[in-house]
Chains A and B, each alone.
Chain A
Amino acid sequence: MVFLAACKKDLDKYPLTTVSDETFWNTENDLIVYNNVFYDYAKSNAMRLLNGNHEGATRDGQYSLDGMTDNDVRSFSFSPNHVRIRAGQITPDTNPISFGWNNTCFNFVRAINIGLANYDRADIDQSIIDKYKAEARLFRGWMVADKVSLYGDYPWIEKELNIDSEELFDERTPRDVVMAKVLEDLNFACEFLPDDWGDGGAPGRLNRWSALLIKSRICLFEGTWRKYHGVGSDANMWLEAAAAAAKELIDNGPYKLYSTGDAAHDYNAIFQMSDLTGVDEVMYWRRYEQGVIQNSWQIYYYMATVSKDMVEDYLCTDGLPITLSSSYQGDEVYEDIWVNRDPRMRQSVLHPDDVGYYDYFAFPANGIGVPNLLGMSGTATTITGYHQVKHVNQEQNLNFHDGFTPCVILRFGEALLNYAEARAELGVLTQADLDLSINKLRDRVGMVHMDLGNIPVDPRYTSDGVSPLIAEIRRERRVELFGEGFRYDDIRRWKQGAKFRHKDYGMRWDEANRNRFDPNGVVSLQYEVVPGTGVEYIAPNKGGDFENPVFEEKHYLWPIPVSARSQNPNVGQNPGWE
């Protein structure tokens, strides 16, 4: 026994392949490899930060987020989460979707907080340390803001907790308090992040310009949310911050819209490139490489099918909506829909003549036509009749999960829209502001300018409760950012949930079109007369569980899952979900 006790130390065995906290945190390299883990967290589908394109069989990537909205109609079997949310069928009993209330987010925050508590131990210049602090705080602010947008009040945690921490059983932190903290984080990031990390940006680390864009996005969300939902205070402060951040980026940043002078193709070109290194509109992106990490976007692109509502929202080339423009050709003839329309439409919704250009079916010689509807040949069929083409990368019609199409995560174009909208919401928008922002986007595609003195009044939007100018700026945002995952948040912050109560329809499917496109009756889609039109359109969800979407007041915020509430009842529940 004596012998055993004396030699206790023999039984000291330590991990052989890991690093200990005591010996870490010395050099800048330590801080770099530590902060690298944030990028790994941020790519998780638990949050909407850097999750990029679908990897493997998951379909929760950024380009699929419009599936939750009236932009894009999806098949339940491929995107069950999106379809459920679109239909308002989420419940507190289960976590609604992978990027909902998720413990990975708290793990991420803990990793950030541990970093913030230890960076100062490194024996290097404070200015260097601050860069990494700023990077960490940018992630924290961004992640938390994403959750606040979905849950309202949200736990704000700024130190590492342990099992005896009382904070564990706190109520959620009120939105006002959290967002003030978020703003501090974003401000710190916008001050101390370098303009350029000198890492070649491929895609590299998030820099100060990215922080400014993220800040403008978050502040715009918060400002409009407070304004339209009538909660919190200082809506204007947030809108001003949004405008200021965007303005600094516009004025001083090294980015500009991608343009080669090819108005017919420049708008969607950045979504079709296999390498975005050095593309000056793209501020941040997710890289994939064949054989290392691939994604399945290019095998699933066809699952994104554009809705009738979206197609009808594109202006005509005269700057007027289809309800007002004399140049609108109607939708009796399928090809006419694109005639005299905003050129961005033809770069978002596949025109029959563009099948070859985009190599859309990857095998044009086979003669598959557009529209290719469910029941017809091939797997790339739509359930609306409108194929989405914005993100199709013709270089990569590869197999299964074999694609390496990058995902555009932050682009300069958004800054222009954020700026215009924030200024408009503040009521201080000038023609100069428009020319600096929205009209740049329109110039690229050859659209007429938006003219402050001549804003059309689309009868469809007069009941939205906002001025025609705001309505048009919102349309511009929907059109420009189509398919990039903004619509769901935009509708909620504008408190326009009514738009999600409409059924989704597809192309006109009257007798003429049925005879033309489906003489043998192979199409297995239902159709019905759309109220108010007297005409039949494809009704993709007809007869199924998701035919009549619901969006009630409570749907502006998501429910706290039962599991989280049973762990901490103080976390409460959002209104309407009790």
Chain B
Amino acid sequence: MIFLRCVKRDAHSFLYRFMLIMKITVFFIMVLLLQAVAETKAQKITLRVHGATLQEVMTKIQRQQGHSFFFLGEQIAKTLVDAKVEQADLAEAMEVVLAEKGLDWYMEDKTIVIKRSGNQRLSVQDIKSTEVSQQHRVSGRVTDEQGAPLEGVTVRVVGGQTTVVTDLNGRYSIDVSDENGKLAYSIVGFESIELPIDGESIIDVSMKASVSYMDEVVVVGYGTQKKVNLTGAIGVAGSERLENRTITSAGQGLQGVVPGLNITFNSGDPNQAADFNIRGFESINGGAPLILVDGVPMDVEKINPNDIKSVSVLKDASSAAIYGARAAFGVILVETKKGLAGKTRINFSTQTTLQKAIFPGYEPVRDGGTARQIQNEANKITTGRELLPQPVIDAALAYQELENPTVDDAWMYYEGFLYPLENTYMKDLALRDFAPQQQYDFSISGASERASYYVSAGMINKDGFFRYGNEKYKRYNVLSKIDFQVNDWLALDNKIAFSSVLNNLPHNYGDQWYYQSIAKHFYSPHTFPDLTYYIEPGDHDKWAPYIGMGLDNRNPLPYLKNGGRDLGTDNDIWLTQGITITPLKGLKIRGDFSYRYFWSEDERVASQVDVLRGFNGFEMVDDIVYKGQSANDWIESGFAKNTYYVFNTFAEYVRDDLGDHYFKVLAGFNQEYGMNHGVVTRSTQLLSPLIPSLSATTGTRTNSDSKNEVMLRGVFYRLNYVYKDKYLFEANGRYDGTSRFPSESRFGFFPSVSVGWRVSEEPFMDGTSTWLDNLKIRASYGQLGNQNVGSYYPYISSMSPGTSTFLLAGGGNLTNFIAPGGLVSNTLTWESVSSQNIGVDFTVKNKLDVEFDYFIRDTRDMLMEKSYPGTLGAAAPSENAADLRNKGWELSVTWRDKVSSDWSYRINLSLSDYQTEITKYNNPTGAIGDYYVGKKVGEIWGYKTEGLFQTTEELENAADQSRLGSNWRLGDVHYADLDNNGEITTGTNTLDDTGDRIRIGNTTPRYAFGINPSVKYKNFRLDVFAQGILKRDLYPSRGNFLRFWPFKSLSMEQWWIDDSWSPENPNAYFPLKQFAYSDNKNTFEQTRYLQNAAYMRLKNVTLSYDIPVKFASNAQVYLNGTNLFVISGTYKTLDPEYSSDLVPRYMFQKSFTLGLRVTL
């Protein structure tokens, strides 16, 4: 089709090639255009009707030909006719239509007049003058609820014959004989209404969209599709799921909404992007859905959720194949709002939120002295030594009994150290209870006859939880979309999307204070106290200068206050220009070009902090002040610039006038190119913390850069065919190429087909038509590729430059080296994904909608690094060598009902499940730490726990546990000797010999559900959303020092004291209290500490009220609560939803919001 010689390779890269492509496109469009112009001059009529009224037939002719029509005689419109014409001109068509009906027609003033044969011809003027004299004329405008004009609404005189159809602007004019009669308005997709005329001559009507899902239009790849005609598995979420929510990003709003779309978060950090996943485990190399916003790959987490109109989740290959090599794991299409016709709408909304960090099970120690004593004993067990001197503990025990202790009572000087006897609750000192968040949104939208516009600006301002040096997060969004209809066949659209994210955080000294802030080290002092004296009477003045200063190491406050800031700014601009040509009816040609410019600046400053020496107490020495962990102050400045170009062009041709046949064909071309470039400079030794500048440093500077590019190119098509509105067929495909693979294996073809059968339309289903509105069965099969594997250049081995801290010479110069290249496979190519889907949809009485899908997704040729002996000497190259199969299902059920004009309710339930099994993997020894054929992804291997050793006899008779650790005592874990060999081992850690370990659980989240009831009473509306997982196992990671294994560090909370084994507390959950940072003997994966991570979380409750005010078309206040509670089977200190169970840097939040939304 396209015939261009390859451009010289050294040509001016992308831009030059792009211009050439544009030229070709313009040429291509022009050719089609000329054809189109030729066609319009002789529009032909095609009709296939059987037993239709003449009214209906003439309406069809009017649609195709443009002439309005008029019946001379009341009964004529109801005449039943049969007709079959192909590409006929008007005269031929009318001949056929009116044949043998005793009717005649003539053309008068561009109006077709139909009369009984033999009756007199009347001129239109005459008709009007005669009729007007006796008849009343009603005119008006029909709009939808938003005020957009509705074209093609049939307006009918109830009980009469006269019928008219509204024009492009929704206007109509109809003559009625009875001023007290009624008019009926109807159009597909809206609820029909009848209105009394009451002598009015102007009746404007607002029609309400019918709630039937059958009329819903769904965004699909490069276009839209009526939902009834869908054959693939597509889930949809509308804007109502994202409005009035306390969310900073779309991901938060979409969690649990669409079955099969799994969204998880690692923390409550607003910068933490959601992890999107469609239908479960993708590939052993990970993988993610392709997310497109208005057709370009934007970061959906950075756009304003209030700008989103709809979200389509393309789950199976047939829906996604049009995106080829990037759509292997599904596609999420986000469409932003557009201006709608009608009067200009100005929308303002604001919300204020208070957020509270969630610390599951947090329980500070109660009695400081007792806790110190316990801690010492716990430490002694492992090391034989004490942590705190016994006299200090004795004093703390005495202190906790004091009635009204003074500050002086709370401290004790002992052997060089000043020890606190009171407890320090760092969480309370460092963190606030509530953090505020504000959100403002403003938009103006509307449309005139030729143009529509939507302009919005939004802002989010969120504070963190620190009492000092708090975190600040701000995001600004601007979206501007203008569509302009130049003339009948040409439209232009452009879009500017801008987002800016600002972060201002205290410098992060290794996450220290985030953890410290919670529970650790209740016995460590934080601030140097103001005492009468310290070591001996009279020395107050000597130590007074240090009052209020903080202790190093276990105290975040000085670092939060003075330790420097990390500043980050991300600016993202997307510019899109599109052109749409509709040269003839049914044909649409579109081209668009988008350019992204992303610019980020990061400045991190670690500045020097003065802290006091000490550990468990202040070290009372002359040089007590020092730099602590901030010793090496430095500044780092980084700039990154990413540019991205997307070019799409496609043509779509629809024939819906072929009677029983409906065709739609789409074909197009897509090219994308991205270039990322970053530079980071770091310098040490700031002259002053007040001048955070690279120039103001005296130390060594280091620089590095990164640069890479990636390019994609593909052609795609889609073919839809519908026969008799019952049999649906669709084929999609794409031929796609990527720069990530060697040229021999760079291109791939990814086809798919799908079929649907609307069983409810079959004659044999007539008996059910009173209650079953729709029943459809769908099936699809398709193949996709995944190009997003490995690095940008996974097939090229390159020797990379680096620097070493082995200094071969003096002068502060790092040693430069060139490292040998890694091993690569030069046959590297796509991971391929084939997916099969079968689904059924049905609607009952327009109240119950059910969609069910079952799928099998095979991911083949996954890149894997086969496990080779270390003697290979390098990371094994990735090879296309592994397969897996992912199976699951999704169910979505919606029930809605209107009880009375005041009461209505709706409930939506989504439920989905998947499981993944490895079907091919190279693991000859069957090592169970690795994947192996037959492995269910997520398996947890571990020991079976007999219990805790309760008696010496039990301890002595137990199998030898020395492989797992030494010095087993009462209260330690007793592992079961499953292979009865007298020894607890991992065997060879292979399937042949798993030792004493078995599969104890699986981390795959099973039966993910979302439940969303909403109730409306008059102006009130209550929305509730709960989401969760019904089955999942989790094993607390060994690194989880703070929330589960406190004995691995020195932190303590009351629950651990109360729930750890001792002879007096033999039924405790945790083993004997002991502190052992590197000792894992009791923490090996085992049944005892396996967690049931099923949960349900009340994500959202919103109560809103529509305020009836005159000045606004809509005003609403709402109250919202987010993450209000969770029900879960995990131990009380764990949160089941953290995708990693380590304590996150930024906790999840519970929040309470008051919001206001006004539309003028």
* A-to-B contact residues, CB < 8 Å: 1-21, 24, 30, 33-34, 36-37, 39-40, 42-43, 50, 55, 75-77, 80, 89, 91, 93, 101-103, 105-111, 113-115, 155, 157, 160-163, 165, 167-170, 199-200, 202-205, 275, 277, 286-289, 291-294, 362-363, 365-366, 368, 374-379, 383, 398-402, 520, 522, 524-526, 540-545, 547, 562-569, 571
Interface flags, B296-339, vs A, CB<8A=1, else 0:
00000000000000000000000000000000000000000000
Bound Cα distance from A291 to B661, whole angstroms: 77
Looking at B148-156, B636-644, B798-806, the stretch in contact with chain A turns out to be B798-806
Contact A6 B6 (CB under 8 A): yes
Residues of A within 8 A of B711 (CB): 10-11, 13
| Residue from A4, A91, A565 within 8 A of B715 (CB atoms) | A4
Question: B802 contacts A40, CB within 8 Å?
Answer: yes
Of chain B, the residue at the smallest CB distance from A39 is B806
Distance between B377 CB and nearest chain A CB, rounded to angstroms: 12
Inside 8 A of A161's CB, which chain B residues have their CB?
871-873
Decide: A20 near B799, CB < 8 A? Known: A163-B876, A543-B380, A544-B383. Answer: yes
Residues of B within 8 A of A37 (CB): 802, 804, 817-820
Q: Which residue of B lies closest to A544 (CB)?
A: B384
Given A39-B815, A543-B380, A16 contacting B735 (CB threshold 8 A) = no
Q: A80: nearest residue on chain B (CB-CB)?
A: B1078
CB <8 Å contact, B818 and A400 = no
- Alpha-carbon distance A167/B870, docked complex (angstroms): 11
A543 to chain B, nearest CB (A): 4
Decide: A11 near B870, CB < 8 A? Known: A17-B705, A291-B684.
no
CA distance A366 to B620 in the complex (A): 9
Could you say which residues of chain B place their CB within 8 Å of the CB of A3?
A: 2-4
What residue of chain A has the Cβ atom nearest to residue B865's Cβ? Answer: A163
Q: In the bound complex, what is the Cα–Cα distance between A109 and B747 (angstroms)?
A: 38
Query: Separation in Å of the B782 CB from the closest CB of chain A?
Result: 19
Could you list 11 further interchain pairs (A-B, Cβ under 8 angstroms) beyond the known A75-B385, A155-B871, A378-B619?
Answer: A13-B709, A15-B793, A16-B709, A39-B817, A93-B963, A291-B632, A377-B417, A383-B385, A399-B631, A543-B384, A544-B385
Task: Given A7-B6, A114-B820, decide whether A524 and B390 contact each other with a Cβ distance below 8 A.
Answer: yes
Q: Which of B38-46, B139-147, B214-222, B738-746 has 4 or more CB atoms under 8 Å from chain A?
A: B738-746
Across the interface, do B746 and A8 meet the contact criterion of CB distance under 8 Å?
yes
Q: What B residues does A33 contact at CB under 8 A?
A: 801, 816-818
Which of B126-134, B167-175, B484-492, B983-991 touches A? B983-991
In the complex, the answer to whether B815 meets A40 with C-beta atoms within 8 Å is yes
Kindly list chain A residues whose C-beta atoms are within 8 Å of the C-beta of B380: 543
A residues near B438, Cβ cutoff 8 Å: none
Q: Residues on B close to A: CB < 8 A?
A: 2-7, 9, 17, 380, 382-386, 389-391, 414-417, 615, 619, 621-623, 626-629, 631-632, 684-685, 699-700, 705-715, 735, 737-739, 743, 746-747, 792-793, 796-802, 804-810, 812, 814-821, 823, 866-874, 876-877, 879, 925, 927, 929, 962-964, 966-967, 985-986, 988-990, 1077-1079
B806–A42 touching, CB < 8 Å: yes
When A and B form their complex, which 5 residue pairs have the shortest distance between CB atoms, in order from nearest? A377-B416, A110-B873, A544-B384, A40-B804, A18-B798
Interchain CB contact under 8 A, A292 and B805: yes
Contact flag A17-B707 (CB < 8 Å), given A1-B715, A376-B416: yes
Cβ-defined contact, B737 with A4, below 8 A = yes
Distance in angstroms between the alpha carbons of A213 and B134 in the assembled complex: 123
Q: Is the CB of A202 within 8 A of B685?
A: no
- Contact: B990 with A566, CB < 8 Å? yes
Q: B925 contacts A526, CB within 8 Å? A: no
| B699 and A162 within 8 A (CB) | no
B737 touches A9 (CB 8 A): no
- In the bound complex, CA of A377 to CA of B876 (Å): 52
Alpha-carbon gap, A292 to B805, bound state (A): 8
- Collect the chain A residues with CB atoms within 8 Å of residue B814's CB: 292-293
Known: A37-B819, A291-B632, A562-B986. A4 touches B810 (CB 8 A): no
Complex Cα–Cα for A402 and B685 (A): 12
Q: Beyond A19-B799, A34-B818, A363-B621, is A288–B927 a contact (Cβ under 8 Å)?
A: no
Q: Are B621 and A378 in contact (CB under 8 A)?
A: yes
Q: Choose among B4, B622, B871 the residue that contacts A363 (Cβ–Cβ < 8 A).
A: B622
**Which of A42, A157, A288, A383 lies in contact with B871, CB distance below 8 A?**
A157
What's the nearest-Cβ distance from chain B to residue A464, in Å? 29
A77 to B385, CA, bound (A): 11
Q: Contacts A37-B819, A93-B986: A169 and B869 contacting too (C-beta < 8 A)? A: yes
What CA separation (Å) do A93 and B965 show in the bound complex? 11
Which residues of chain B have C-beta atoms less than 8 A from A363's C-beta?
621-623
Q: What residues on B are CB-neighbors of A522 within 8 Å? A: 389, 391, 414-415
Q: Is the CB of A11 within 8 A of B737?
A: yes
**Are B415 and A21 touching (Cβ within 8 A)?**
no
Q: Are B815 and A36 in contact (CB under 8 A)?
A: yes
CB pair B870–A564 under 8 Å, yes or no, is yes
The minimal Cβ–Cβ distance linking B452 to chain A, given in whole angstroms, is 35
Given contacts A13-B793, A39-B815, contact A50 B925 (CB under 8 A): no
Nearest chain B CB to A216 CB, angstrom units = 24
Instruction: Assess the A91–B963 pair: CB atoms within 8 A.
Output: yes
With A111-B820, A544-B384 given, is the CB distance from A378 to B416 under 8 Å?
A: yes
Interchain Cβ contacts under 8 Å between A and B, 25 examples: A6-B6, A8-B746, A11-B746, A15-B796, A18-B800, A19-B798, A20-B796, A30-B818, A37-B819, A40-B806, A43-B805, A93-B964, A102-B870, A108-B873, A163-B872, A205-B808, A275-B810, A522-B389, A522-B391, A522-B414, A522-B415, A524-B385, A524-B386, A545-B966, A566-B989
List residues of chain B with CB within 8 A of the CB of A200. Answer: 809
Residue of A nearest to B870 (CB): A103
CA distance A230 to B872 in the complex (A): 32
**B384, B812, B868, B927: the one within 8 Å of A547 (CB):** B384
Q: A202-B810, A375-B415 are in contact. Are A111 and B621 (CB under 8 A)?
A: no
Query: How many Å from the CB of A118 to the closest CB on chain B?
Result: 9
Which B residues are CB-close (under 8 A) to A55?
805
B821 near A4 (CB under 8 angstroms)? Answer: no
Given contacts A33-B817, A103-B870, contact A286 B806 (CB under 8 A): yes
CA of A160 to CA of B797, assembled, Å: 14
Q: Is the CB of A566 within 8 A of B806?
A: no
Neighbouring A residues of B876 by C-beta, 8 Å: 163
B230 to nearest A CB, angstroms? 28
A197 to B57, CA, bound (A): 99
**Residue contact A167 to B385, C-beta cutoff 8 Å:** no
With beta carbons under 8 angstroms apart, the residue of B7, B383, B735, B869 that contacts A564 is: B869
Cα distance, A157 to B868, chains bound together (Å)? 15
- For residue A56, give the distance in angstroms from its CB to the closest CB of chain B: 10
In Å, the complex CA distance between A377 and B807 comes to 37
Q: What separation, in Å, do the CA atoms of A12 and B809 have in the docked complex?
A: 40
Q: How far is the CB of A221 from chain B (nearest CB, A)?
A: 23
Docked pose: A544 CA to B925 CA in angstroms: 39
Contact A36 B416 (CB under 8 A): no
Report the bound CA distance from A109 to B874 in whole Å.
10
From known contacts A163-B823, A291-B684, infer whether A50 and B870 are also in contact, taking CB-CB under 8 Å.
Answer: no
Contact B747 A4 (CB under 8 A): yes
Partner of B631, one of A199, A287, A402: A402
Q: List the B side residues contacting A199 at CB < 8 Å.
A: 808-809
Q: Is the CB of B804 within 8 A of A43?
A: yes
Known interface pairs A163-B823, A375-B389. Does A1 touch B807 (Cβ–Cβ under 8 Å)? no
Q: How far is the CB of A449 from chain B (nearest CB, A)?
A: 39
Q: Cα distance A115–B711 when bound, in Å?
A: 34
| Contact of B713 with A10 in the complex, beta carbons under 8 Å | yes
Distance, CA A566 to CA B685, complexed state (A): 48
Q: Please state if A566 and B810 are interface contacts (CB–CB under 8 Å).
A: no
> For the complex, what is the distance from the CA of A163 to the CA of B875, rounded to whole Å?
10
Residues of A within 8 A of B929 (CB): 563, 566
Tell me the minimal C-beta distance from B726 to chain A in angstroms: 34
Q: Kindly identify which residue among B739, B801, B806, B877 contacts A11, using a CB–CB cutoff of 8 Å.
A: B739
Q: In the complex, A286→B796 CA distance in Å?
A: 35
A21 touches B925 (CB 8 A): no
